[in-house]
Each structure stands twice: as structure tokens, then as C-alpha cells.
Structure 1
Amino acid sequence: MDEGLTSRHLVEPTDGSAGPLLRIAEDRLMPGAGYGAHHHADVDVVAVVLSGSLAHGWGGRATLRAGDVGILRAGTGLVHDEVAGADGAHVLQTYLRTAAAGQEPGHRLVRWSAVADRGWVDLGRPDARLWVARVQAEDTVAVPAGLRVVATRDEVWAAPAATTGEGRVSGPAMVCVWQLDRARPLWAVD
């Protein structure tokens, strides 16, 4: 990892109690800093760019900007890198255990749309759903139940999954809500 990278783990269940969720990290990268070329296998990495930009290097080069979601399916294995743009990057990186072993690696980018300021992101897997919203200043939005990660100008925090109903978040903020199949996966240890 580069010296210009700071990472803070927000959620890291080690017992399988959050289904496929392995970790949610808040990463801040200085301009030009990256993770260094590294290997992944049998994991999906979902990156939500909160601010700045992040160039993803594997199978071509895609640049993610604020609000964009990158879905990396490592499958049978790959080596990749991510490097912050000239404005740095503030990113939520969520690691999910693969839903199906032996898949071919792939990367997909879901672009931010100024027309739709909130909605579900298709992750292509049955056991995890992601809802993302950009809440403007002076606005409040209803958010679905689930594991909530809220990024404001000053802080990023995660709240436990609500079991029923919706909650409300006031802006300015970026909100990610994870709905996870909480059935104990085969890899969980008693």
C-alpha cells in the first residue's frame, strides 16, 4: 500500500453473522496514491466513491467519480490496482465473500446519475443488495432498513441493521444501505 493511503474498518464481522459481508472500510487516498498491485480471489469488492476520483486498473482502465459504484468480482483470481486522481479519493470499500465459486473475474461500473439521486444497485448476486443515495443539503430522505453507512462532510459512520421499517437521513450526505442474507454461510465457524 502507498503511504498516501489511510484505511479505517467500519464493520468487520468475523463470525459469519452478517452473511457474505467480510468488511466495510473507509479509505482516503492522497492524489496519485494507490493500493499497489494486489491479488484477490473468491471475493466481490464493491467500491463507492464518496469524493474525488479513482482509476481502476484491471481489464482496461475505468475511472470512478463521486457517486459511482465499482463492482469487482475477483472470481478465480486477478491482480489489480486502484489509484486516486489529481483530487484524491474518499472511498467505501465493501468486501463480500463470493456468492458462487469458480466464476470468471469481472469488473462493472455503475455511473452516478444526476437524474436519479437514489436507488438500488444491481450487484448480480442473490444474498446482498445495495441502496445508495446522495442527499442534498437541506434535504431529508427515507432510507430502507439494513446496515447503514452514512458519510457527511465531517465523518463516516456505520449503524446496525434495522430489523423493520425505514429510517431518515438529512443532508448533505452520501448513504449506503446493505441488505444481507444473514443465513450462516458454509464458511462460518462455530
Structure 2
Amino acid sequence: MKKVLHKAGSRGAAHHGWLKSFHTFSFADYHDPKRMNFGVLRVINEDRVTGGQGFGKHPHRDMEIISIPLSGALEHKDSMGNGSVIRRGDIQVMSAGTGVTHSEYNASRDELVHFLQIWVFSRRQGVTPRYQQMSIADGARKDEFQQILSPNADDAGVWIHQDAWFNWGDLSAGVERSYQLHGSDNGVYFFVISGQVEVAGEQLSSSDGLGVWETKEVSVKALSDAVVLTMEVPMHLPEYLFH
């Protein structure tokens, strides 16, 4: 088993008045050659946007972009004609593929929106752009890992063009669970939404992250009531990135 630990305070940070953003991996003006990605997991940004503000229209290609609100309301618009508002308990995914532009704004004038934006490299270039959102609260299971994303359209949660599985774990203090990986070439990244947990022997608190690979399973123990996001991804980057 191999591990990489990213404590919350070690992340890159950007403060623009209307935006407070923390970057687990290199992003924008934050660059650390040792923190470029975890396998095909390229970006984990924890963003807080003030009322009425947000990210204007901007383009993406060949990236799977996942948004998970933690509080407040996030308004999405894109060049495919989609428009929606998502809140805690929802997940949104956009496959950029051949190219798409989108904007993400705080849907409220006076309430902060707090959300995670996660980027995963697509399995292949040039897929048809698509958008999907759903409520993950509907299938919520206390003290279990609830699948919220997979590679399969007919499986639980949203789907993306990558062999990735995300789970939401709402765990009571003292609960112990084992996360079983789907593939031997995969790793799993744990991001703590709230509370304190012990993962693979490492104590983690809110906004800490731990990547684990070269293992078939990982032990997770809630040291307090806690919420954990697991992101299992291939550790090898797609070949098109090297062409």
C-alpha cells in the first residue's frame, strides 16, 4: 500500500473577494510539481462564492467536471442549453469532450455557496459533450458508502467517461467500514467533508485528503460523526495526454 497525505492547510489558496478557493492540486496561480494529480484525478477545488457572484462563461475540453454543493445553491448554464440550480444533496457532471462553455454562479443574492469542483481526465478524447445531474440524497444510506458516480449509465449515481467510482459516506462516530477497490490499477482518494476519520492509519479532519493505491481495500473509521467523499480512479494517465 502506498499513501499520499494532503492536509487542508497545505493546499493552494486563492482569495478574490467574491471567491475563496482552496486547491488540493496545482491550479491557476498555484503550482506544485509534486501536486499535479492523483492518477486521472486532476482537480479538487473547494470553493466559497459570495451572493450573486460566480464564474463567467469559460471553455473546457476532454475533461469530466463534477460539482457537489455542500451548502447554498449553485446555478449552472452551458452551451448545450442546460440551465439548473443544484443544492446540497445533488451532484452534477459535465463531460466537456469536443468542447463546451459553461458558467457557475451563486443562485442566491445574499447566501454563500460552498461546493467542490472536481476534474477527472476523460478516458478518451473527443467524446460528445453531455450534462447530467441528480439527487444523491434520495438514495442516502447512513453508515455505508453510497455510490454517487460510476462509469456505467445504468448504475447508481451519475456516470462519466472514465473508470471511476465516487462514494459518499455519512458515518456515525465509531463506525468502521472497509472500502473495496474495483480495479488493481486504481487508487482511491479520500476527501473529508466534515468531522474526523482515520483512513489507512492516518487521522484526517475536515478538508484533509489522502490518496491510497497498490491495495485492494482501505479501512475507514469515523472518530466523530463524519462525512467522507471517496474518489476511486485509474492511476495511469490516458495516452492522448502524451501525444
Instruction: Normalising by structure 1, report the TM-score.
Output: 0.83
Alpha-carbon distance between aligned partners in 1 of 2:132 and 2:72, rounded to the nearest angstrom: 19
What is the aligned counterpart of 1:160 among 204, 207, 211?
211
Alpha-carbon distance between aligned partners in 2 of 1:139 and 1:64, rounded to the nearest angstrom: 31
Does the residue aligned with 2:112 lie in a helix, a strand or coil? strand
Alpha-carbon distance between aligned partners in 2 of 1:17 and 1:37, rounded to the nearest angstrom: 25
Structure 2 counterpart of 1:64: 86
Contact 1:135 1:170 in 2 (8 A): no
Q: Per-residue deviation at 1:70?
A: 0.7
| Greater relative contact order, per chain length (Cα 8 Å cut-off, separation 6+) | 1
Letter in 1 for 2:124: A
Instruction: Normalising by structure 2, report the TM-score.
Output: 0.67
Does the residue aligned with 2:208 lie in a helix, a strand or coil? strand
Q: Per-residue deviation at 1:110?
A: 2.2
Q: 1:158–1:19: structure 2 CA closer, same or farther, 3 Å change rule?
A: same
What is the aligned counterpart of 1:41 among 50, 61, 79?
61
Does the residue aligned with 1:76 lie in a helix, a strand or coil? coil
Contact 2:193 2:206 in 1 (8 A): yes
Q: Which runs of 5+ in 2 are unaligned?
A: 1-14, 27-31, 151-158, 181-187, 196-204
What is the aligned counterpart of 1:147 among 164, 189, 212?
189
Q: 1:143–1:90: structure 2 CA closer, same or farther, 3 Å change rule?
A: farther
Q: 1:143–1:14: structure 2 CA closer, same or farther, 3 Å change rule?
A: farther
Alpha-carbon distance between aligned partners in 2 of 1:143 and 1:35, rounded to the nearest angstrom: 38
Specify the structure having the higher radius of gyration (Cα): 2
Structure 2 counterpart of 1:119: 146
Contact 2:47 2:114 in 1 (8 A): yes
Task: Give yes or no for the alignment of 1:174 onto 2:227.
Answer: yes
Q: Per-residue deviation at 1:112?
A: 2.6
Structure 1 counterpart of 2:115: 91
Alpha-carbon distance between aligned partners in 1 of 2:55 and 2:16, rounded to the nearest angstrom: 6
Contact 1:48 1:70 in 2 (8 A): yes
The number of residues matched between the two structures is 188
Listed one character per residue, the Cα deviations across residues 47-70 of structure 1 (whole Å, up to 9, x for unaligned) are 111111111112221111112111
Contact 1:75 1:104 in 2 (8 A): yes
